[in-house]
Structures are given as structure tokens and as C-alpha cells.
Structure 1
């Protein structure tokens, strides 16, 4: 894929310092930059040649995403957590994207336009795959319910999603391990841009209790409301946004079609225009396809803050890309971020920053 840096996992583990140029330090051409500030830098990097277990972890969990989204509504709602601003368990139609609230309506198309977005085509399941019960005081737990509440898991015998919890943790912990190794490799580059050199990127991620994973199911849009690709907004499946994180780990999406017997089958991407789009540091729109056997990592807003804007967050969105009748999109994102007390700027901790963002996406009633 032109412009996207890829690195080998064995090299990442055995010789991380050899990757400094690929990550962004002392480069001479734009396509060698992943997280740097060159106008053509994409803010994303691919890790290839992963251990073989990754394939089964990814396939197992992404099928669970489809299965959970097709449970009866009353069962799905049983595993929601309004008190955490829906930051644990199931969330559908609760998030505000680009100024419009998403009412809970399965058949409503999420897109109105690029500037007003009803986020009802995306269902999410949130959990911390590293820590089930964060070790913080009751006061901190109550103050930051979006990060420090206990995980919510479907009952072990919930019909259709038996094994959901273990599959979620298997993939989440795998991505977290690779992310920690990448953060360590990034350290010589990132440390030059940190405003506060008393901590390292790898330390902030490894010791944090705020790690959050998001299993995502993109519902098929109503065929009657899908426009021709030329008229369709780029952010028709998920609006443009920045992640809260320092780094976000992303799995390649799987497209599933519901067959006549009600079972899903894996299908190719419904069109060349479907999928993830990001903006380069210079503002150019680029479609990014993550190979099935790779992980992608992109920069989040917390990293932009702790580096005083020298390393910027990656703006991204997801496009339907034409007809997706009976086709859903399943993927998984892991947000690696600091604990809530960590200062991310001269005036704001990560916890304060999060609350400011949550109010934007969930309204005045967010925690």
C-alpha cells in the first residue's frame, strides 16, 4: 500500500532500534514516515509477520461481534452501562457524531450528511481486556466511571455468544502486547517530542489501568437510503474523529453477509471504496486497507497533547462505499492510553480531557 509503513514483528521484538527510521526519525523521503510530521505522513503503521495464533484470535472474536449484534434487543440491553457513558458493555445509538444524537433505531440510516451524523449504524462492545477490576480507590472509581468500573461480560451460557469473554481477552491481550513492543521501539523518536521527559510512552501504556478495547459491528445500511458512491459522504459508516488514546491498535475488518438460513458468510469488501479513510498530516484523504494478517497502529489525541502538538492525532472515518445490502463490517480497536491522573498538557489530566470529549459525544449527562 503506497505511503503506509510496515514493519516485521520479529524485527520489532529482536531489533527495535533498527526501526527508528521507519517510525519517523531522520528520514529523507515521505513514505518512510509513520508517525512523523511530514505532510505526507499518515500517522499509521502496519505490523506484519505476526505469530500464527493471531489469525484464529481475530477470526473468532470478529464472528462474535456479528453474533452479539444479532441477539434479541432485550438481551443486548442487559449488558449496557449508562453510568459509564456506555463505556463498558454494549452501546448502540448512544453516541453523538458531528453534532447529532443517535436515537436507538436499528433501521435508521446513520448518515444524514458529512456534517450531521446519527451514529446508529455502529454497535460497540467495550471492555478492558487487561484488567477486569482496576485497582483504584472507590473515590477514583466513582470519579472516572468511564475507565475504572468492572468489566461487563455476557453470561457464560448466553446462547449464541458462549466463549465471548475469553475470545475478547485473547485478541485484546495479543494486540496490547504488540502495542507495548511498538511503543518501546518508538521511544527514541517520541521522547524528542515529549514536553515532560519524566515518563516514557511505553511506561504510560504498560502500567495503565485505562486500556479499553472496542469490538465494532457496522450494521448494513438500508438499501433504499444508500446513494451512488459519487454522491455518498466519505464518512457514511462512521464520522470523522480522533481517538482519545496515545496509540490505537486496529485489526483488519471482516465483511459478513447474512444468508437465507440466517447464518453469516465471509465475503469480500463490497466495493473498492468501502472501508477506512484517514487524512495525512498535510490534509490529503487516503484510503487505508489493513491486510488480514497485519495489525495497524495509529496515533491518538492524547499523544498529540503530551507532545504539545508535535505528533498529531490521526483523523479517520469509515465509508460504506455503495451497496452493502445484508453485509456488515466487523472490526476491533484497542485504545492504549495513560491513567486518568497523568498530565497530558499544562492544564489538563487525561481524566479531565476524557470528560471533555465524552460531553461532546454523549451530552451533558456524561459521567
Structure 2
């Protein structure tokens, strides 16, 4: 069932439900349809009061000191629409507890919500099984190991109201006559689509990306055509543990992949280290090609302790968000 790909990255192939590939393609086509709507329609589903952590987000995130305008994201909790938490907690952590917003009233997107939830449930179920395997490996080193009632990784995920999925649409890159970008070494380091970063989850479930060419679409109902990646270097790259060299990761279409997040590294004292990664745009295609994918961040509730110093996941989240905002402020000061 499980195959480890270097450190911090795992493939799951066997035992996936038969509906998985259907859900994947259906949701990715819906992602493309949503992302190509007029801006004023998409902005109806943006929630700035949650730091754009629910609903639509485009150009709000900062990675590597750059505003991220190359991709659009749709955030939701596939398992819980409106978390049952206190008003105080909801007010303190709107990025986790404000609640989902869905484009169900938009023509052509009636299946967006149920498909998002169904694919999320598949990933969640597999993630719980993987978390239980991690428990047996690291149980003596969990952050709260002094407690007789210490939580397990699987219980932190399974009981959480903070799990969050992200449906991503990477917009087609503009053509460029700058042939210097074709140098292989430069291409491998081109993280223009998604800056090098760590997920701050415990585990992140990932689907294989799908590339769609709008120029090959025959009709609105048929939608864009599935095409190969624009180049061999386009896609997800990771840095294996103790390595400064990025490795290209190709997830088979019939597989799920999981990578380790920063919260898991804190929880386990580094025994399961977070996976640095980025998405390379590499080169622009002669035709407009978008990239669709889905990531499910499996993570604790905000009051769960993940650090050996007693730091909670909520405090950790605020620290990570503050780090990103600091990058944004520094960039604005230079501009």
C-alpha cells in the first residue's frame, strides 16, 4: 500500500477506492472552470476576514518575498462546513473556524462542493491510516510524551476541526523569448509558480497534477483537453533530508502522495522532518497550459500542543502567518 520516496514523501497506490480517479479529474475540471470565471464573480467567494484561508484567494500570499499571482486557490474544510466551536475561538482563529463558502449557485459549478468534499474524504481516510503507521514509529518522541494521555498523530488529525484543503489552479505562463531560462540548472531552481516553503500541517495529502490546454477545448461542456506537462522540469520538486539538491517528484495519476509538514517536525522532535518543496514553472508553453492540483492539510486543532515548549498549533500558525506578513512588509518597503 505504501511506498516511501526519499525522506518525507510517500506514495499510496493500492487500496484506493475506485471512484478516486473520477473524482480527481472531475474536481480539476471544476477548478479550471472556476478560475477562468470573471474576477468579479470569483471575488464574491473571497473571505479577507479569514486571511483568505476560506474560499477564493489570488495574489494575496507572499512566497520568497514575491506576491503570488501565478496561482489561484480555493480553500475549504472538506469534512466540516461550520466547526462547532465557541464564538471566542472562532473570532480568534477565523482562518480555521470561520466556515466554508461554496460557489454552488454559479452555473456549471453545481458539483463543485460535493466533489471537493468527496475527494477530501478519500484523502482523509488514507491519511488517518498513514498517521497510525507514523504513530508506531515516533510515539516515544511526541511533544507531550510526559503525559499518560498524550495524543497520537492519528487522533490529532481525526479529532481536528482545523483540517483544510486547497484546490489550486496555476495559470498558464506567458511565452517568453528569453532563451536563457531554458538552461537546465536555472530551470530546476525556477520556483516561480510556488516559492520554496514548508507546509505547516502534520501531513499533506496530494493528488497528481493535471495539465489542461484551453486552446484545445471544443465546447464549453467538454472543457479543456488534458495534455502532458509543458516540460520535463515542470511540477513539484522536493529537498530530501540533509540535501541541498532538489529532486523532481512525479506522482502517478492513480496514486495519492503524502509529505510531512512543519507541525509534525515539531511534534516529533525532528524525527519526521518537514519537506521543503516548490513548484517549478520551468518554461512557457506555445499553448496556454494550466496546472490543476489538490492538497489536503491534515493538522491539529489550535489548542493542541505540538511543541516541546508547550507551543500550541494555533500559536504556531500565528507565528507562520506573521513570518509571511513580515516578508510582505519588507518587500513593500523595498518597492
Instruction: Give TM-score, length-normalised by structure 2.
Output: 0.89
Equivalent of residue 88 in structure 2, options 139, 142, 150: 139
1:196 aligned residue: 144
Which deviations, in whole Å up to 9, do the C-alpha atoms of 1:307-357 show, x marking residues without a partner? 122321000001112233400000000000000001111142100110111
Structure 2 unmatched ranges of 5 or more: 330-335
Would you say the 8 A contact 1:236–1:320 is kept in 2? Answer: yes
3-state SS, counterpart of residue 257 of structure 2: strand
- Counting matched residue pairs gives 313
Equivalent of residue 358 in structure 1, options 285, 308, 321: 321
* Separation in 1, partners of 2:194, 2:319: 21
How far did 1:229 drift? 4.3
* Separation in 1, partners of 2:44, 2:328: 20
* Separation in 1, partners of 2:38, 2:108: 11
* Separation in 2, partners of 1:304, 1:68: 35
* Separation in 2, partners of 1:134, 1:356: 23
How far did 1:361 drift? 2.5
How far did 1:363 drift? 5.1
* Separation in 2, partners of 1:97, 1:358: 11
Would you say the 8 A contact 2:65–2:327 is kept in 1? Answer: no
* Separation in 2, partners of 1:334, 1:291: 17
1:127 aligned residue: 76
1:92 aligned residue: 58
* Separation in 1, partners of 2:325, 2:246: 27
Q: 1:309 aligned to 2:261?
A: no
Please give the residue correspondences for 1:331-346 in structure 2 after superposition, counting only pairs within 5 Å. Answer: 331-345=293-307, 346=309
1:152 aligned residue: 101
How far did 1:220 drift? 0.8
Which deviations, in whole Å up to 9, do the C-alpha atoms of 1:46-95 show, x marking residues without a partner? 00022211011111111111111000100000000001100000000000
Would you say the 8 A contact 1:220–1:326 is kept in 2? Answer: yes
Which deviations, in whole Å up to 9, do the C-alpha atoms of 1:11-67 show, x marking residues without a partner? xxxxxxxxxxx6xxxxxxxxxx66xxxxxx421110002221101111111111111
3-state SS, counterpart of residue 255 of structure 1: strand
* Separation in 1, partners of 2:177, 2:296: 31
* Separation in 2, partners of 1:167, 1:229: 40
Please give the residue correspondences for 1:1-367 in structure 2 after superposition, counting only pairs within 5 Å. Answer: 7=1, 41-49=6-14, 50-100=16-66, 102=67, 119-154=68-103, 156-197=104-145, 198-224=150-176, 227-230=181-184, 231-232=186-187, 233-259=189-215, 263-283=223-243, 284-324=245-285, 325-345=287-307, 346-362=309-325
Relative to 1, partners in 2 of residues 1:145 and 1:166: Cα closer, same or farther, differing over 3 Å? Answer: same
1:19 aligned residue: none
* Separation in 2, partners of 1:364, 1:299: 24
Relative to 1, partners in 2 of residues 1:363 and 1:126: Cα closer, same or farther, differing over 3 Å? Answer: farther
Deviates more, 1:323-332 or 1:192-201: 192-201
Deviates more, 1:130-139 or 1:351-360: 351-360
Instruction: Give TM-score, length-normalised by structure 1.
Output: 0.81
* Separation in 1, partners of 2:64, 2:177: 19
